[in-house]
Amino acid sequence: MNAAPTLGVEEEYLLIDPETGQNAPVVQKALGALPDAMRLQSRLEFRHSMLEMVTPVCSGLAELRRELDLMRSAAADAAAEAGVLLVAVGATPLAEPVREPADDPRFRAITRHYGPIAYDAAVCGCHVHVGVPDPETAILVSTRLRPWLPLIQAIAANSPLYQGVDTGHASWRSLQLKRWPALGPTPAFESFADYEQTIRTLVAASAMLDDSMILWYARPSAAYPTIEIRVADVCATPADTVLIAGLIRALVTVLQSTPGPLGPASDTVLEAAHWNAAHAGLEGTLLDVRTGQPRPAWELVDELVEFVTPTLTAFGDLEVITAELDRVRAEGTGAARQRRLLDPPETLSAAGVAAFLRELAVSP
């Protein structure tokens, strides 16, 4: 087997007022407080209460973990300088007082085009990039990944709260984002030419403002020689991010040569599987898209690990992935951990949520 592909991660975080628990519109102050080198790894996000950071290109999981630790520490320091908390949760837990987009011509164009959905409260994702040889390979893998991504979504679920209430969903971010067009499972494209033609058609129909508004769960990157997987909530910890990135890299590698045991699945079945994953996380059953029947989530996780074990072994990643999955099996997903912090439910008051978010804040 060839050397492991490169990988990189984009993480979006919320800036939270430590007293009220509400999103704080202070991203410009936080960006200004970042060290110069780290500012180059930041990206202006859609909301004034969001801070996005991007790792350098990494060759292995140990390097990725170091970069995530450095990146989160610098971002948490910058948030503290701005008088707020940096919190890695997938959806606005309490309230978003300022709904206008950040001051950027493109963000204003998106708001004009899509209307009220552009004013939905902030959500934060984790986007994983894996190096691939060419766009044709990226499309092949995007199609073959379709049955696996609900499981990745479930492992990464980290947004049970919205407006101070437990939504009953492990990933409320996933449900909130469904209001956007051209978001969801990547269509089963026959080729990169098919992909490009479909995008032209969607732009012509105004479902996409332009060809940058591709919001599918897997897509060829327009900026890098990678495939980008964007189904995950921002992860609660760097260890969770490493777990997701390692599993995705192994899947991307294996699926370049084989479609895997799950085979094709209809868009309707996949939509149901993603809803199920967003609702349950790993704390129940998930849809087996082969049979259309529910199965214990951890049985499907075990099958995924078995499928990619030769690749994880070749990359030297098996021990890390096994240990992190054991940890998640014992501790639960980010969503499950949040719910334990909020037990009993009467703590779901503004003051209770604010105290809870102080517990969740990323440490400098």
Q: Give residue-wise pLDDT tens across range 7-19.
A: 999 999 999 999 9
Q: Is the pLDDT of residue 2 over 70?
A: no
Mean pLDDT on 159-185: 95
Decide if 47 is inside a domain: yes
Tokens matching residue 179: 């209001």
- What whole-number distance in Å separates Cα of residue 226 and Cα of residue 233? 20
The total domain count for the chain is 1
Helices of type H across 10-101: 27-33, 36-39, 61-81
Give residue 176's pLDDT.
97
308, 254 in Cβ contact below 8 A?
Answer: yes
Mean pLDDT on 192-200: 96
- What whole-number distance in Å separates Cα of residue 89 and Cα of residue 181? 23
Q: Is the pLDDT of residue 276 over 70?
A: yes
Decide if 268 is inside a domain: yes
164, 346 in Cβ contact below 8 A?
Answer: no
Tokens matching residue 129: 């990039």
Confidence band for 339, pLDDT divided at 50, 70 and 90: very high
Q: Can you give the residue range of the structural domain that contains 271? A: 7-360
Q: How far is CA 293 from CA 188, 194, 287, in A?
A: 22, 32, 6
Decide if 152 is inside a domain: yes
pLDDT, tens digit, 9 for 90 and up, residues 28-81:
999 999 999 999 999 999 999 999 999 999 999 999 999 999 999 999 999 999
Decide if 197 is inside a domain: yes
Residue 255: which CATH number? 3.30.590.20
Confidence band for 361, pLDDT divided at 50, 70 and 90: very high
Decide if 1 is inside a domain: no
Decide if 46 is inside a domain: yes
Tokens matching residue 185: 């499972």
pLDDT, tens digit, 9 for 90 and up, residues 156-171:
999 999 999 999 999 9
Q: Which residues contact 241 (CB under 8 A, 6 or more apart)?
A: 9, 11, 64, 68, 126, 235
Q: Mean pLDDT for the chain?
A: 95
- What whole-number distance in Å separates Cα of residue 61 and Cα of residue 246? 7
pLDDT, tens digit, 9 for 90 and up, residues 285-322:
999 998 899 999 999 999 999 999 999 999 999 999 99
Decide if 27 is inside a domain: yes
- What whole-number distance in Å separates Cα of residue 154 and Cα of residue 286? 9
Decide if 2 is inside a domain: no
- What whole-number distance in Å separates Cα of residue 183 and Cα of residue 338? 26
Q: Is the pLDDT of residue 191 over 60?
A: yes
